[in-house]
Amino acid sequence: MRRHLAAVVITLGTTVLVLGSALVLADDKPKPIEAFTTVAASMQRGRASRLDIVITRWSTDEERERLLTTLQEFGRDKLVDELTKIRPTCGYMRTPQTKGWDLFYCRNNVMPDGSRHVVIATDRYVTFAEAATSQRSMQYQVTLIELHLDKDGKGEGKMVPAAKITWDKEKKKLEIENYSALPIDLKGVKPQKV
């Protein structure tokens, strides 16, 4: 999550000023509009962990078009740059062991029967050593989440922690390398009170 830091250094009345700053920061934080919890299970690694997903807003049609145009015209590297420029962010995800990770794209697609197809994208955590040595993994810079939810907000999903996204000019559609081969299954997706 993006952190805000307010520091005021005054010898008298510091407690009141710090408390006031904390209240301003709490009000500045976007309010969740929807939240989910799920078990993220990696069959390849034999691990599972709770994953919380909090949505603070849904991405607009304009943001979707801007990202698609960037991918089509400039490729995946510029796509990641454009993705991470989106403000305000649309939420965050976290496991019990982490503080959180900003979500830059959250799209809510409602189907005629009331079910939903939710698509979420963010940048992938890249270590300094990985970036400095320009490893092949640098081509896989996006984390994608796809949720299939019933009208009550329950369902299943998949997460690709390192996706390589390209645009197929002939088929005129997104291509996601590793989507079916190495996803993390999101089991028992459930809505949470916000």
The 10s digit of each residue's pLDDT in 22-74 is 333 445 678 999 999 999 998 777 789 999 999 999 999 999 999 999 999 99
- The answer to whether residues 157 and 126 belong to one domain is yes
Residue with token string 């994953």: 51
Cα–Cα distance measured from residue 154 to residue 179, given in angstroms and rounded to the nearest whole number: 22
Query: C-alpha angle 96/150/55, rounded to 5°?
Result: 40
- For residues 39 and 110, state if they share a domain: yes
Which residue reads 């270590």 in tokens? Answer: 127
Which of 32, 6, 181 lies closest to 94 in space, CA to CA? 32
CA–CA gap between residue 192 and residue 194 (Å, rounded): 6
Residue range 111-164, pLDDT digits in tens? 999 999 999 999 976 555 555 556 555 556 789 999 999 999 999 999 998 888
Q: How confident is the model at residue 168 (pLDDT cuts 50, 70, 90)?
A: confident
Return d(Cα 185, Cα 173) in angstroms, integer.
24
What does the longest C-alpha to C-alpha distance in the chain come to? 68
Q: Which residue has the higher pLDDT, 47 or 1?
A: 47
Residue 3: its pLDDT value, please? 38
* pLDDT given at position 165: 84
- Strand segments, DSSP code E, in 25-154 are 34-42, 47-55, 91-94, 101-103, 105-110, 116-123, 142-149
- Whether 96 and 1 map to the same domain: the answer is no
**Do 1 and 95 have their domain in common?**
no
Is the model's pLDDT at 105 over the cut of 90? Answer: yes
CA distances from 77 to 20, 83, 102, 119, 172 (A): 41, 10, 19, 20, 19
Residue position matching structure tokens 């979500």:
103
Give dist(CA 135, CA 144) in Å, integer: 20
Tell whether the model's pLDDT for residue 103 goes beyond 60: yes
Residue 14 lies in domain: 1-30
Residues 85 and 15 occupy one common structural domain = no
18 and 103 inside one domain: no
DSSP 8-state class, residue 138? G
pTM of the model: 0.78
Judgement on whether residues 105 and 26 belong to the same structural domain of the protein:
no
Nearest residue to 166 via CA among 77, 85, 83? 77
43 and 88 co-located in one domain: yes
Going 80 to 84 to 85 to 91, the CA torsion angle's sign is positive
Rounded to an integer, the average pLDDT of 86-111 is: 94
